[in-house]
Structure 1
Amino acid sequence: MKTRALTQLLATTSAPALLLKESSVQWSNEAFNELPKSDRHQVEHWGRESSDELLVCAGTLFERLIAGDHTLVIASGHRAVAQQRQLMQALIPQLQSGASPFFALPQILSQLLGWQSAAACTTLNTHQLTLVGHWHDRQQQPPQTLDLNTSLAASLYTDHAGATQVQEWSQPTRDPLLPERGIWLGQRVEDADGNMIGHLAVWDTEPQSSLADSIHLLQLCADLVGAWLPPKPADDDNKTFAADSLTHLPQRDALDAALEHIEQNHPEHDYLLALIDIDGLSRINAELGQQEGDRVLCTFADKLRHVCRPDDRVFRFGGDEFVMLMPAGKQPPPLLKRLGQINRSMAEQLGHPFQASAGTALMTEVNGSSDELMLLADSRLQQSKKQGAA
């Protein structure tokens, strides 16, 4: 190895680099010397003694190149430009449509990187995680609540833990999602204020893709999610939310705050959530004009208000979707019956056909998780629309 030429080439690169000869440090560049002392020691130890193929230290991926008695340890400068472009092309339209990144990313990551399984979790409380998105064997799996103590991701949530972790196991674990053996990559997700809000993970028994590519893309996704999600308000109870300019209903941010408040302060009470969609609003806009479409939205919003009990709340979720949040006692409120009455009244008042579909879910069906509540209601809404079209 031409060590002099090599060190000259790497001297000014921003990628930390370390050259070992017979397990002794022969040279390191300025970028490596600027690392914290503990990180330098970890990289040196891995370069000399570890058999692991890759090292993730302080969120940076290191690779090892060996020639004779020389070992070069260098931070991976690989950037999968094509994969980044594909990620953006798949993720951004879903975010713009209102989809949760924690629901959308597992399918995107699994298909893009070729891992058998991918998951995205958010923190439910100090002991539990909400599995929002789970893609396995080319299928979307249902959401569920996970025990943090039995999850392989538990180490991501400990103080001073690395935000990126690689784990390999050859015997069955307590994690209910994992096979008997495999490799797992996990990436912690933090909001704009640095608060832990969840994690992303991919795993497989025999990964076919580059670990470097996968780690880089997981880190990129975590940065995107952290930047996309708004920081948590310091005091949600005193926060004022802007109403929708057309229907004058509270919007999605107010719904999110209401669900979070219920989740944290009223776990003993049950609530019914209804996700309601106006069927064929785009057709009404195309055939009768935008003004008629706006009239439909305003009339429908007004009728939803009138069927609300004192403690019921209605929100405009976006586009042609509305959400009703209602306290549920021993018997859930007869929302579907009320919606049928509204459909008939709307058609009569507007003078043309009208139909709205709904999917409902109870908090007690999802162990108090608002994320799972929304996903379950949406799943039932899609079933209702399919049945109506049949």
Structure 2
Amino acid sequence: MKRWTELVLVACAAGVAVAQWFMPATAPGLLGILLFGLVVLTAFSQRRAIDTTLVSLNAAHREQLEGERRYRALFDACSDVIIVHRFDEEGRPGQIVEVNEAACLVLGYARSQLLSMTAEDVLAPEARSHARERARALLDSGTLAYETVQMASDLQRMPVEVTARIVEIGGRRLCTSVSHSIAAHKEVEQYLRNLTDVDELTGLLNRRGFFAKVDEMRRKAKRTGRQVLLTYFDVDGLKRVNDELGHAEGDRVLVAAADVLRGAFREHDVVARLGGDEFVATALLGRRHDEALDRQAIEVRLEQAVRAKREELGDAYRFSVSFGSVVANHVELAAIDELLTRADQSMYEVKRGRTTRLASRRPPSDAGVSPRPGLVAVDAPPPLEAHDAAGRW
């Protein structure tokens, strides 16, 4: 077809040339006819090529759609959370541009909701402070692996391990992050830590756990410029309880002491059983003008908790504790053994000045109950108003 068309075009061109030579007046008309014929012949000759091109374009479009479907199927088949997001002008994680089905299921949002959020919006508040620093490290290196905490729509916190990578799509740098839940790993980690850092009887920190937490508190005290109250406690008359009433009753008293300290101190304070009947607690005090108020509040809560526990235990053991306390800054807190010794000495000055006696307490005759021995504690005066304090309740 192509060769035949070329021959016709050559013949027409030759005819126009001959006509122009012998009949110049008719040359323009013949030239117009020739051009029209040329267009018609060209269209017929290129029809197959156009059809072939259209078929190729349609095939390429179908292949592209099929590739996108395969990509989407693989993208959504991943059980980990995949989020693709931009970066804002300051280099922080920006607008989310794509998510997989796992992201919707795990985070509890519809796809349209996630696409209207930024990558920081799915992080827990405490994790957002590190987002900018990590984004810069990712932009510098191209890949980054780290642990963080994501927050679902129901405010549930989920510890995750994230692998992030920079990709370029359409000339724009995007981040593809894959988040894998490590909640089970964290639970096992916490369980193992409890085996080594937590006292089995009372559930408080043991000596090892206490020293680890005190180091964290020291860094916080240095960062905030606040002082720390360290208080050393001793359960009065525990040996006599063990000897007269048995070790099971002694364990009950130790658990009661742990309950008292939990009630007297705040959740973020550090409370531990060092061993035997000895307990210790550290509390971060307020600013300098609030230190005395904080100490007074702790002592009031401690006194109230001891009285409540006495009533709960009853006459079997008139529950009481002795204590000594010191206030230290972050530099002094580094010498924790010395502070414990000072607080211990303050406490034993009180214990030496007071006595606890084992006595038989007989109930009224009409109660019909046989006498049972119990410990009666002699109340002490209020704690000393000094940098180092001691007292007994």
TM-score normalised by L of structure 1: 0.36
Q: Please identify which structure carries the higher helix content.
A: 2
Higher-Rg structure is 2
TM-score normalised by L of structure 2: 0.36
